[in-house]
């Protein structure tokens, strides 16, 4: 279990981004094991059966939603996001539970290449207290459906793309790419021409002379988010994010993309 306390951080929950004035974050891993010692071995050994992770964030945030619709209170934005996650458009009488994508940037001044982003996906519970002195108390608790990842920022901010003009992000170095590549993205604003957008993760060595597409997220036309893991092995030392648009005129996306290799 680990704890982190700080201020001036960003919490991304699907297509909602929240500025946290102060926060306390805790994450942990629970592993269930059984003994697997072979007869005659000198040391006892154990085999992992399954594991689970969780992330808890207690924070104070601004009352006004800072992105997308500045006139919307942050508690209303969260209420709409959570309702969207639970309801089934195909059957109004059937409740579904869709894992939320959650990314935490506990970094005062985040830039592309910054390390320390924590991201995962899962189900959880959220508590929001009434605003006092312009601040809202938030408690988020996520039970993860997979690993809790520590990654680097591959894209951040307002990015403009045209049709046929793929935005290619900055190359970000990873020290030990020995296998898994995981990534998440959150698109929280779209302005300009309506279009179909595609976010992808590419890898290569220095210079990106012949990049390989490692992850391609599902296309989207409105604010969206995604979490994905490479099936296979990546041995390249650099990752970058790309964003493509089907529009003939510029569109600007408020977006953050996080990548991780291990």
Give domain status of residue 41, yes or no. Answer: no
**Residues 24, 133: one domain?**
yes
Range of the domain at 24: 2-31+49-149
Q: Is residue 40 part of a domain?
A: no
pLDDT, one tens digit for every residue, the chain (262 residues): 677 788 888 888 888 888 888 888 887 777 777 888 888 888 888 777 766 777 888 888 776 655 544 445 666 666 666 666 555 555 555 555 678 888 988 888 889 999 888 888 888 777 777 777 777 788 888 888 778 888 899 999 899 887 667 888 888 988 765 567 889 999 988 888 788 899 999 988 877 888 888 899 999 998 889 999 887 778 888 899 999 988 777 888 989 999 888 7
What is the C-alpha to C-alpha distance for residues 21 and 181, in angstroms, rounded to an integer? Answer: 31
Question: 90 and 11, same structural domain?
Answer: yes
**Within-domain flag for 37:** no
If asked whether residues 218 and 98 sit together in one domain, one would say no
Q: Are residues 113 and 210 in the same domain?
A: no
Beta bridge partners of 23: 6, 59
CA-based torsion, 251, 189, 246, 173: positive or negative: positive
Same domain (yes/no): 122, 203:
no
Boundary-marking domain end, from 81, 115, 149: 149
Q: What is the count of structural domains for the chain?
A: 2
Same domain, yes or no: 143 and 162: no
CATH code where residue 120 lies: 2.40.30
At a CB cut-off of 8 Å and minimum separation 6, what does 212 contact?
A: 202, 203, 204, 234, 236
Cβ–Cβ under 8 Å, residues 152 and 174: yes
Residue 43 inside a domain? The answer is: no
Whether 165 is in a domain gets the answer: yes
For 113, phi then psi, to 5°, come to 100, -15
Q: Residues with Cβ < 8 Å from 100, sequence gap 6 or more? A: 13, 14, 85, 121, 122, 123, 124, 142
User: Are residue 243 and residue 114 in the same domain, yes or no?
Assistant: no
The reply to whether 38 falls in a domain is: no
Whether 157 and 144 map to the same domain: the answer is: no
pLDDT value of residue 69: 46
Q: What are the phi and psi torsion angles at 57 (to 5°)?
A: -125, 125
């Amino acid at each position: 279990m680990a704890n982190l306390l700080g201020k001036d951080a960003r919490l991304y929950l699907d297509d909602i981004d929240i500025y946290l004035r102060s926060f306390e974050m805790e994450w942990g891993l629970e592993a269930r094991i059984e003994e697997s010692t072979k007869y005659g071995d000198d040391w006892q050994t154990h085999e992992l059966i399954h594991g689970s992770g969780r992330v808890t964030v207690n924070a104070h945030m601004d009352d006004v939603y800072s992105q997308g619709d500045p006139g919307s209170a942050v508690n209303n934005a969260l209420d709409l996001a959570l309702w969207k996650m639970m309801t089934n458009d195909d059957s109004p009488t059937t409740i579904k539970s869709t894992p939320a994508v959650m990314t935490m940037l506990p970094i005062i001044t985040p830039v592309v290449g910054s390390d320390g982003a924590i991201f995962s996906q899962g189900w959880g519970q959220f508590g929001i207290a009434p605003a006092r002195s312009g601040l809202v108390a938030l408690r988020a608790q996520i039970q993860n459906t997979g690993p809790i990842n520590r990654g680097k920022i591959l894209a951040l901010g307002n990015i403009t793309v045209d049709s046929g003009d793929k935005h290619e992000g900055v190359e970000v170095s990873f020290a030990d790419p020995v296998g898994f590549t995981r990534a998440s993205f959150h698109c929280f604003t779209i302005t300009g021409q309506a279009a179909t957008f595609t976010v992808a993760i590419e890898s290569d060595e220095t210079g990106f002379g012949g990049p390989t597409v490692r992850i391609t997220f599902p296309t989207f036309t409105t604010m969206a988010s995604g979490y994905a893991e490479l099936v296979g092995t990546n041995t390249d030392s650099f990752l970058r994010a790309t964003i493509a648009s089907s529009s003939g005129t510029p569109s600007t996306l408020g977006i953050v993309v996080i990548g991780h290799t291990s």
